[in-house]
């Protein structure tokens, strides 16, 4: 590692450590310096097996415990802004107390700092723990560090009984996540001069039936492991037309189906094709969801230790990558997700403290 690697003091309080992690810029594809700092701090403990894959650091205890859990958080952030300048961080008084302000304070370096504090404080946790500090979450999937671990060394994370992704949840527990499918529903017409439309067939007009089916569609709410996931099927894009004086010969309605994690990707594919039977349907993206696994002992112990209500994650997160490997997962971390990526990104400092204390209760 270069001599200029900044030092992270894992003995510092969690808010100070969050500020230090945030103040090492790590916009996606530029995580090397922060990854070096995390790796150096983790190796300095002298009690974890550490693996580096690209700019992803995986650290594992090996205590022979009956259960293994994963704590995971991404190192990268979205780009910085110049107005306002959102680094370096600063502590200021907010409407409800002190906040830490700056890029990454919500998404999700507070979660990374909580992981580092837990790693430092618990030399002998009650469960074996795999800590994953990964790159490339904020950009295209091909750069995602969790994906790289899955592809190159799946044994490092695939042997876990349960996983916690420390994405911002406003310090609530959000179980699992929904799957997401995008499909292009196409209509075919015959091009003609718009002055003589009877010579052709208008594909855009035919798309009215696609839209009508969406208007009439009644999404389901499915209970999965005791949580309610609200499904949704919506048009997100309509494309068609050749020129202002031409009857269009093709129209494409792009639809997005958000489906409960009890459905497989194949189930979701079949459902969308059934809804739009009679039309040409091309599924262009399909990422399955993640079951929260709240019936499992590790998950039950987690919820009991935190003493917080659990709600379903209505979006899609990287917990789905764990689910695909047979590892149930939840989201739990400091910061209001509505402030992620905002110019005035900020988090109440008590949420860092509360999340650290909750994980220590669970693992101590």
Same domain, 338 and 208: no
Same domain, 107 and 42: yes
Q: State the catalytic residue, choosing from 107, 135, 137, 249.
A: 137
Would 8 be classed as within a structural domain? Answer: no
pLDDT beyond 90 at 309: no
pLDDT at 3: 53
Same domain, 137 and 172: yes
Average pLDDT over residues 172-199: 95
Final residue in a domain of this structure, among 265, 287, 309:
287
Same domain, 170 and 188: no
Range of the domain at 126: 14-177+290-363
Same domain, 216 and 246: yes
Strand bridging mode 56-60 / 49-53: antiparallel
Would 107 be classed as within a structural domain? Answer: yes
Contact 209, 314 (CB under 8 A): no
Binned at pLDDT 50, 70 and 90, residue 308 comes out as: confident
Among 25-39, 162-176, 180-194, 303-317, the range scoring the smallest mean pLDDT is 303-317
Which CATH number is 74's domain given? Answer: 3.40.630.10
pLDDT at 45: 97
Tens digits of residue pLDDT in 313-364? 888 889 999 988 888 889 999 999 989 999 999 999 999 999 999 999 999 9
pLDDT at 96: 78
Would 114 be classed as within a structural domain? Answer: yes
Tell me the sheet residues that pair with 237. Answer: 254
Same domain, 186 and 118: no
Same domain, 302 and 248: no
How far apart (Å, rounded) are the C-alpha atoms in residues 314 and 109? Answer: 22
pLDDT beyond 60 at 284: yes
Strand bridging mode 97-101 / 90-94: antiparallel
Would 337 be classed as within a structural domain? Answer: yes
Residues of the chain above pLDDT 90, percent: 82
Dihedral of CA atoms 354, 358, 359, 361 in degrees, nearest 10, equals 140
Would 4 be classed as within a structural domain? Answer: no
Strand bridging mode 173-175 / 310-312: parallel
The rounded mean pLDDT for the chain is 94
Say whether 137 is catalytic: yes
Give 98 or 95, the one with higher predicted confidence: 98
pLDDT beyond 70 at 42: yes
Same domain, 39 and 120: yes
Please give the tally of structural domains in the chain.
Answer: 2
Binned at pLDDT 50, 70 and 90, residue 10 comes out as: very high
Would 252 be classed as within a structural domain? Answer: yes
Q: State the catalytic residue, choosing from 39, 76, 135, 249.
A: 76
Cis ω on the peptide bond leading into residue 84 (within 30° of 0)? yes
pLDDT at 207: 97
pLDDT beyond 80 at 182: yes
Which CATH number is 266's domain given? Answer: 3.30.70.360
Average pLDDT over residues 163-185: 94
Final residue in a domain of this structure, among 287, 304, 321:
287
How far apart (Å, rounded) are the C-alpha atoms in residues 265 and 248? Answer: 33
Final residue in a domain of this structure, among 256, 272, 287:
287
Would 355 be classed as within a structural domain? Answer: yes
pLDDT at 1: 47
Tens digits of residue pLDDT in 255-278? 999 999 999 999 999 999 999 999
Same domain, 110 and 51: yes
Same domain, 303 and 230: no
pTM: 0.83
Say whether 76 is catalytic: yes
Would 83 be classed as within a structural domain? Answer: yes
Same domain, 196 and 141: no
Average pLDDT over residues 181-185: 97
Same domain, 104 and 184: no
How far apart (Å, rounded) are the C-alpha atoms in residues 308 and 77? Answer: 28
How far apart (Å, rounded) are the C-alpha atoms in residues 148 and 142? Answer: 8
pLDDT beyond 80 at 94: no
């Amino acid at each position: 590692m270069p001599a200029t690697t900044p030092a992270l003091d894992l003995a510092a309080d969690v808010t100070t450590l969050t500020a230090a992690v945030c103040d090492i810029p790590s916009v996606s594809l530029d995580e090397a310096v922060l990854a070096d700092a995390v790796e150096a701090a983790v190796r300095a403990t002298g009690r974890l097996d550490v693996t580096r894959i690209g700019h992803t650091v995986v650290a594992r205890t090996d205590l022979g415990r009956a259960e293994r859990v994963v704590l995971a958080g991404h190192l990268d952030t979205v780009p910085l802004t110049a107005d306002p300048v959102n680094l370096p961080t600063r502590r200021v008084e907010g409407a409800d107390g002190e906040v830490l302000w700056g890029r990454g304070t919500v998404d999700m370096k507070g979660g990374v700092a909580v992981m580092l504090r837990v790693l430092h404080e618990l030399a002998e946790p009650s469960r074996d723990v795999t800590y994953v500090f990964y790159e490339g979450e904020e950009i295209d999937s091909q750069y995602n560090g969790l994906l790289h671990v899955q592809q190159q060394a799946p044994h490092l994370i695939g042997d876990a009984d349960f996983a916690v992704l420390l994405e911002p949840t406003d310090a609530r527990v959000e179980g699992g996540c929904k799957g997401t499918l995008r499909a292009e529903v196409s209509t075919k017409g015959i091009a003609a001069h718009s002055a003589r439309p009877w010579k052709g067939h208008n594909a855009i007009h035919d798309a009215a039936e696609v839209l009508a089916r969406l208007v009439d569609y009644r999404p389901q709410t499915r209970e999965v492991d005791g949580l309610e996931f609200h499904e949704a099927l919506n048009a997100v894009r309509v494309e068609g037309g050749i020129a202002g004086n031409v009857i269009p010969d093709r129209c494409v309605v792009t639809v997005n189906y958000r489906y409960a994690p009890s459905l497989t990707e194949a189930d979701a594919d079949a459902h969308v094709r059934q809804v739009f039977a009679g039309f040409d349907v091309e599924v262009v993206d399909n990422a399955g969801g993640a079951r929260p696994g709240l019936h499992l002992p590790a998950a039950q112990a987690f919820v009991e230790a935190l003493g917080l209500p659990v709600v379903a994650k209505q979006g899609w997160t990287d917990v789905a990558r764990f689910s695909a490997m047979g590892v149930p997962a939840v989201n739990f971390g400091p910061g209001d997700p509505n402030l992620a990526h905002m110019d005035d990104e900020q988090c109440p400092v008590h949420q860092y403290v509360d999340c650290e204390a909750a994980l220590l209760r669970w693992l101590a």
